[in-house]
Structure 1
């Protein structure tokens, strides 16, 4: 249609938005993805740190020195230089590493989810901006048509073929069309501002040349509710919570430390080796509070996983239904526009020939304007349905790759 071509072309001074694929390629520089990447880097660094064994401790101890009687001065002192090491028995280190790995896996899935959601948000603001631009173009055309009809009505009034009331009604309709155009312009400018901000563009967008809402959706591929990113994130969180229980249980067991050293006897001018093991006695602290807390967190994570699975199932069915309905709605909208254009053309011919009234012309014009706006709304609804389904499938909308 000519109106859609005008909406896509825009004025000569317009600064067109880059294509959706171009903006999608820059997605890695948005704050959301940069934050998710940083969180993943931090989690991977904690995995490396978890593998590191604790540092040994070097100790120096002097006994029987600088006292009184035979222990005056340092001649009878006993000096011990020792080295002690936490042995990390009972699988402490392995449990610590497993928790860090589970948390890193969760961070990686969250990074993927953030990228998919950012792509969907970008597609949504792009589609909304394009739809707003088309509505503005439709409002411009509606004003032009309304003014033309009003002039025709005024001509008939001057000729005495229509009462003066018809001319007044035409002028009122033209004023309403001007107000609708102003509102559409404000909505278009707001949508362009949102697109400029979300896409982090250096200059404001004033037009869109590459259409997104006219594209055919990627299709109703089978979506496994168990495999959605939200469910996988919840599964990873549950696994990490389960690993934390193991860590807290291991902490109940004694923390064994071994030491070896050399002792110097000043009085005998002799040296000897020392050996030792130390471990706390678990008489008072059995770490029960931390174990109970970890188990409670695991139950919470398990409940979140259950809820995520239920929501994913419902979202999958809803997204598929919305996409099927929106595809049919687009076809119906296009057919309605074609019928409305033909009806208005015939009504205009009949009105100018004096065979139909201004009320009938006004009715056919309103029906055409409504049909054209409905066609834009149908395309935007189809784009939204595709965006929702793409999020469930863990991809960028409209079959584009990231």
Structure 2
């Protein structure tokens, strides 16, 4: 028998099989994470939604403050006392007690209230958009964690298949039907599969950690049972309302328009009316006093603030125009990606079925000695790649559903909110 086909020592083969058995061992995972629907119900407790809600409450508080009238002013003035001559002491003193109030003419208060309401409306739209974005981010992190888990399972399965093929190859080497090189190659492939499995498990653990952080889970995630990747998105419908980003831009434009009115009214003088009593000690007499005061708009007519408010309004108009164009394009793109990804999922599933059958037949042929180890390796790699492609296709479908849901202003895989 040629040297290259010498039967390897039984000790070497036994050690290889033992090592492969160790390589195939992996940790068991249990305790699944809550379902996406359950996590979605807790979304109002996440930092992003809490921040948006707090900002909305702050804007509503400013509306209440805008309704409040300015405080009146109480004044006391005493003249002609502790001087010289007839004004020594307090005999000729004059004391005036006055009460003054800003009249808030020219619609100043109404404009202030309307501007505060517009800001509160913009804050509410931002809150709704934040909730939609938070739901989309949660869906993506959840789907990525599930995909990472499936890739880890595929890596484990690949290791199992590689070990099984290696054992078959080592058995043929021991029988002298294959050269020693084939056994060494098999053990090398098994070691590479083990490294790939370890890497996939590390990615899975990292994805679980991200899910724990985003969903604010107190118990470590060790698995996902309620699948989001296998959920089929609903049939896309024509949009009946504007996208959340457009509504935010519209609210911002309205708020900017209200600020122009506020700045224009501020250019008009503040009128203050006062009423009071004046006491004349020398005559032992008392008289009423009335007064009207206002600044003369000779130097400051608030032109800079008016121009700034008008420029901000033009900027808000431009943002709205861009938001409408982007929303229209993004919705069309999301619909197209969702349709394409759904077709890709079907094709990937069909590819998995074909690859499974090809590997089954290759394994039978290899054990019967009709095909080579290289051909078996190719069909095994094709099977793993097909299953990985099926996971990737489902993850792409989730991403497309997230994009479309954001344009609809709803949570992914949920009906209209």
For the aligned pair, the TM-score class normalised by the smaller chain equals: over 0.9
After the TM superposition, which residues 202-351 of structure 1 pair with which residues of structure 2 at under 5 Å, given as runs? 202-223=218-239, 227-351=242-366
After the TM superposition, which residues 83-232 of structure 1 pair with which residues of structure 2 at under 5 Å, given as runs? 83-223=99-239, 227-232=242-247
Aligned mates of 2:337, 2:295 — CA distance in 1? 63
**1:143, CA displacement in angstroms?**
0.4
Aligned mates of 1:239, 1:87 — CA distance in 2? 27
C-alpha contact 1:21 1:400 (8 A) present in aligned 2: no
Out of 382, 388, 392, the residue aligned to residue 397 of structure 2 is 382
1:35 aligns with 2:54: no
Aligned mates of 1:366, 1:269 — CA distance in 2? 112
Aligned mates of 2:196, 2:328 — CA distance in 1? 41
Out of 35, 45, 65, the residue aligned to residue 81 of structure 2 is 65
Aligned mates of 1:146, 1:192 — CA distance in 2? 27
C-alpha contact 1:32 1:114 (8 A) present in aligned 2: yes
TM-score (normalised: structure 2): 0.91
Aligned mates of 2:102, 2:186 — CA distance in 1? 91
Aligned mates of 1:175, 1:339 — CA distance in 2? 27
Aligned mates of 2:245, 2:415 — CA distance in 1? 20
Aligned mates of 1:34, 1:401 — CA distance in 2? 22
TM-score (normalised: structure 1): 0.94
After the TM superposition, which residues 358-373 of structure 1 pair with which residues of structure 2 at under 5 Å, given as runs? 358-373=373-388
**1:13, CA displacement in angstroms?**
5.7
Judge which range, 73-82 or 84-93, deviates more. 73-82
C-alpha contact 1:254 1:279 (8 A) present in aligned 2: yes
Aligned length: 392
1:47 aligns with 2:63: yes
Q: Which runs of 5+ in 1 are unaligned?
A: 1-9
**Structure 1: which 4+ aligned runs deviate by more than 4 Å?**
10-13
1:25 alignment counterpart: 41
Provide, for residues 371-396 of structure 1, a one-character-per-residue CA deviation record: whole Å limited to 9, x for no partner: 00111111111111111111111111
C-alpha contact 1:348 1:361 (8 A) present in aligned 2: yes
**1:12, CA displacement in angstroms?**
6.5
- Distance change (3 Å), C-alpha of 1:127 and 1:149: same
Aligned mates of 1:176, 1:264 — CA distance in 2? 103
Q: Which runs of 5+ in 2 are unaligned?
A: 1-25
Q: Aligned-pair RMSD on alpha carbons?
A: 1.5
Provide, for residues 193-224 of structure 1, a one-character-per-residue CA deviation record: whole Å limited to 9, x for no partner: 00011111112111111111110113312236
C-alpha contact 1:218 1:397 (8 A) present in aligned 2: no
> What secondary structure, in the 3-state scheme, does the structure 1 residue paired with 2:413 have?
helix
Provide, for residues 31-87 of structure 1, a one-character-per-residue CA deviation record: whole Å limited to 9, x for no partner: 111111110110000000001110110111112222221222112112111110101
C-alpha contact 2:29 2:223 (8 A) present in aligned 1: no
Aligned mates of 2:27, 2:111 — CA distance in 1? 64
**1:147, CA displacement in angstroms?**
0.8
- Distance change (3 Å), C-alpha of 1:135 and 1:392: same
Provide, for residues 313-370 of structure 1, a one-character-per-residue CA deviation record: whole Å limited to 9, x for no partner: 1211111111001100110111011111011111111111111121211111111000
**1:164, CA displacement in angstroms?**
2.9
> What secondary structure, in the 3-state scheme, does the structure 1 residue paired with 2:100 have?
strand
Aligned mates of 2:57, 2:332 — CA distance in 1? 35
Aligned mates of 1:11, 1:298 — CA distance in 2? 60
Aligned mates of 1:11, 1:19 — CA distance in 2? 23
